Chains A and B, each alone.
Chain A
Amino acid sequence: MNILSRGLLALASLLLILTYFFPLWKIELIAPQYPEGLRMFIWVNKITGGTEFDLYNINLLNHYIGMKPIEPEAIPELKIMPFIVGFLIAFGLLSSLLGKRVLLYAWVITFTLLGIAGLADFYRWGYEYGHNLDPNAPIKIPGLAYQPPLIGTKQLLNMLASSYPDMGGYIMGLSLALGFVAIILDIRLSGGLRMEVKPA
Chain B
Amino acid sequence: MLGKKKLMVGGLSALVVGALLTGCPPKKEAVKTSAVGVDAASKVYVPPGKQDEFYVFFSGGFNGQVTVYGAPSGRILKVIKVFSVDPETGYGFTPETRPMLMTSHGFLPWDDTHHPWLSQTNGEHDGRWLFINANNTPRIARIDLTTFETTEIIEIPNVAGNHPSPYGTENTEYVVSGSRFSVPVPQRDVPIESYKENFKGVISFIKANEPGKMDVAFQILMPGFNYDLARCGRGPSHGWCFFTSYNTEQAHTLLEVNASKNDKDFIAAVNWKRAEECVAQGKAKEMPATYYHNYYDEKKHMAVSEVKKSVKVLDPKECPGVAYFLPTPKSPHGVDVSDDGEYIVGGGKLATVIPIHSFSKMLKAIEQKAFEKEIDGIPVLKYDAVLHCELEKPCLGPLHTEFDGKGFGYTSCFVSSEVVKFDYKGCKVVDRVPTYYSVGHLLIPGGDTKKPYGKYLIAMNKITKDRQLPVGPELLQSAQLYDISGEKMQLIHEFFTIGEPHYAQAIPADKIKDKVKKIYPLAENEHPYAVKAEKDARVERKGNEVHVYMTMIRSHFVPDNIEGVRVGDTVYFHLTNLEQDWDIPHGFAVKGSEDAEILVMPGQTKTLVWKPKAPGVYPFYCTDFCSALHQEMQGYIRVSPAGSNVPLKYYTGTPPTAQK
A residues contacting B by CB (< 8 A) are 52-53, 56-57, 60, 64, 138-139
Shortest CB–CB separation between residue A82 and chain B, in angstroms? 27
Measured CB to CB, the nearest residue on chain A to B554 is A60
Expressed in whole angstroms, the minimum distance between the Cβ of A132 and any Cβ of chain B is 21
* A60 x B628 contact (CB < 8 A): no
Query: Which residues of chain B come closer than 8 Å to A57, judged between CB atoms?
Result: 580-581
Contacts of A64 in B (CB 8 A): 554, 628-629
Enumerate 19 A-B pairs (CB-CB under 8 Å) in ascending A order.
A52-B521, A52-B580, A53-B519, A53-B580, A53-B581, A56-B580, A57-B580, A57-B581, A60-B553, A60-B554, A60-B579, A60-B581, A64-B554, A64-B628, A64-B629, A138-B555, A138-B629, A138-B632, A139-B628
Q: What is the interface residue range for chain B against chain A? A: 10 to 19
Given contacts A57-B580, A60-B553, A138-B632, 6 further A-B contacts (CB under 8 A): A53-B580, A60-B581, A64-B554, A138-B555, A138-B629, A139-B628
5 tightest A-B contacts by CB?
A: A53-B580, A57-B581, A56-B580, A138-B629, A60-B554
* 1/0 contact string of B570-614 vs chain A (CB within 8 Å): 000000000111000000000000000000000000000000000
Shortest C-beta distance, B266 to chain A (Å), equals: 56
* Secondary structure class of chain B's binding surface, majority of residues: loop
Return chain A residues, CB-CB under 8 Å to B554: 60, 64
A134 → chain B closest CB, angstroms: 13
| CA distance in complex: A139, B553 (Å) | 17
Q: Give CA–CA (A52, B603) in the complex, Å.
A: 14
Q: Which residue of B lies closest to A57 (CB)?
A: B581
> Which A residues are CB-close (under 8 A) to B629?
64, 138
From 627 to 642 in chain B, residues with beta carbon under 8 angstroms from any chain A beta carbon are 628-629, 632
A195–B521 Cα distance when bound, in Å, is: 66
Q: Which residue of B lies closest to A56 (CB)?
A: B580
Residues of chain B within 8 A (CB-CB) of A52 are 521, 580
Contacts of A138 in B (CB 8 A): 555, 629, 632
Closest-CB distance, A30 to chain B (whole angstroms): 15
B604 to chain A, nearest CB (A): 15
Q: Which residues of A contact B581 (CB under 8 A)?
A: 53, 57, 60
Which residue of chain A has its CB nearest to the CB of B519?
A53
Give the CA-CA distance A56 to B628 in the complex, in Å: 18
Chain B residues closer than 8 Å to A139, beta-carbon distance? 628
| Chain A: CB-nearest residue to B581 | A57
In the bound assembly, the distance between CA atoms of A96 and B220 in angstroms comes to 84
Which residue of chain B has the shortest Cβ distance to A34 in the bound complex?
Answer: B581
B-chain residues with CB within 8 Å of residue A53 when the two chains form the complex: 519, 580-581
How far, in angstroms, from A200 to B490 measured CA to CA in the complex? 79
Shortest distance between the CB of A37 and any CB in chain B (Å): 12
Chain A nearest CB from B626 CB (Å) reads 11
